[in-house]
């Protein structure tokens, strides 16, 4: 995606691998764009890129809801039968 490449090339030396470093920069850049500008950039995405974006958004929202409600299963790659976070 062209926007990702532009952000990466501009800020790559300001980012660490930590999402917390990237979030405020990306959020600020997106907040400055109009709805129309955002939709124009979405139009440039392939179907695969758009599906990936929407999938990641939905997963993030589901994780947030689970965290807010204090439910969810902690597995850390292992099977912890009936170990729930509450």
Of 22-31, 43-52, 66-75, give the lowest mean pLDDT range: 66-75
Across the range 38-56, mean pLDDT stands at 94
pLDDT confidence of residue 20: 80
Mean pLDDT of 48-76: 87
Query: How many residues are recorded in the chain?
Result: 86
Please check whether residue 27 is in contact with residue 38, taking contact to mean a CB–CB distance below 8 angstroms. Answer: no
- Token output for 39: 């939709």
| 27: pLDDT strictly greater than 70 | yes
Confidence of residue 56 (pLDDT cuts 50, 70, 90): very high
Question: What is the end-to-end Cα distance of the chain in Å, rounded?
Answer: 39
For the segment 42-60, the average pLDDT, to the nearest whole number, is: 94
């Amino acid at each position: 995606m062209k926007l990702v490449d532009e952000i990466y090339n501009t800020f790559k030396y300001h980012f660490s691998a930590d999402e917390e470093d990237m979030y405020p920069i990306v959020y600020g850049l997106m907040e400055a764009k109009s709805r129309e500008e955002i939709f124009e950039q979405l139009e440039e995405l392939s179907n695969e890129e758009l599906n990936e974006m929407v999938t990641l958004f939905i997963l993030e929202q589901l994780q947030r809801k689970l965290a807010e409600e204090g439910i969810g299963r902690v597995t850390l790659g292992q099977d912890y039968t009936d170990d729930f976070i509450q």
